[in-house]
Chain A
Amino acid sequence: MNRVDNDEGVTPHPVTGLDDVVHQRVRLGILTIAHEARRVEFGYLRSQLALTAGNLSQHLGVLETAGLVEVEKGYEGKRGRTWVTLTEAGDAALAAEIGRLKLLIARVETTGTTDET
Chain B
Amino acid sequence: MTSDAVPAGGDARRLLGEVRGLARRVRIAQRVTWLPLLVLAVVTFVAIPVTRVSRPITRDCQPVAGGGETCKVFDPGVDIYWLVAMVVAYIVITRGYVAVARDRGVGVRVLPYAISGVAATVVVFGLIAVGAGGWIVRDPQDLLHPPTSVQVLFRLLTPLGAIGVALLVLAWLERNVALLLFALGYLAVVLVPINFGWDTYWGGGWSEAPPLIISGSVLALGALGFAGAQRLRRAR
Instruction: Identify the A interface with B (CB < 8 A).
Output: 13, 15, 18, 20, 23-26, 28-29, 32-33, 35-45, 48-51, 55, 59, 76, 98, 101-102, 104-105, 108, 114-117
Contact = CB atoms under 8 A, between A and B. Distances in A.
A66 B26 CA distance: 24
The 3 closest A-B pairs by CB, nearest first: A44-B105, A115-B9, A39-B107
B107 A114 contact: no
B22 interface: yes
B12 interface: yes
A59 B2 CA distance: 12
Contact of B22 (A36, A39, A76): A36
B22 A33 contact: yes
Contact of A25 (B13, B18, B25): B18
A105 B1 contact: no
B9 A114 contact: yes
Contact of A41 (B3, B105, B109): B105
A104 B8 contact: yes
Contacts of B18: 25, 29
Contact of B106 (A39, A59, A108): A39
Contacts, number: 102
Contact of B108 (A24, A38, A117): A38
Nearest to A113: B9
B6 interface: yes
Nearest to A59: B3
B19 A38 contact: no
A3 B17 CA distance: 24
Given A39-B107, A44-B105, A98 B16 contact: yes
B106 A116 contact: no
B15 interface: yes
B65 interface: no
Contacts of A48: 22, 25-26
Contacts of B6: 23, 25
Nearest to A30: B22
Instruction: Determine which residue in B3, B12, B27, B109 has the highest number of CB atoms from chain A within 10 A of its CB, and name it.
Output: B12
A13 B30 CA distance: 37
Contacts of B102: 41, 76
Given A25-B1, A117-B9, 18 more contacts: A23-B5, A25-B15, A26-B1, A29-B22, A33-B26, A36-B22, A36-B26, A36-B27, A37-B108, A39-B106, A45-B105, A48-B25, A98-B16, A98-B19, A101-B15, A104-B8, A114-B9, A115-B10
Contact of B3 (A26, A32, A36, A105): A26
B1 A44 contact: no
Contacts of A36: 22-23, 26-27
A76 B102 CA distance: 10
Contact of A24 (B5, B16, B104, B109): B5
B4 interface: yes
Interface in B1-47: 1-10, 12-13, 15-16, 18-19, 22-23, 25-27, 29-30
Nearest to A103: B12
Nearest to B6: A25
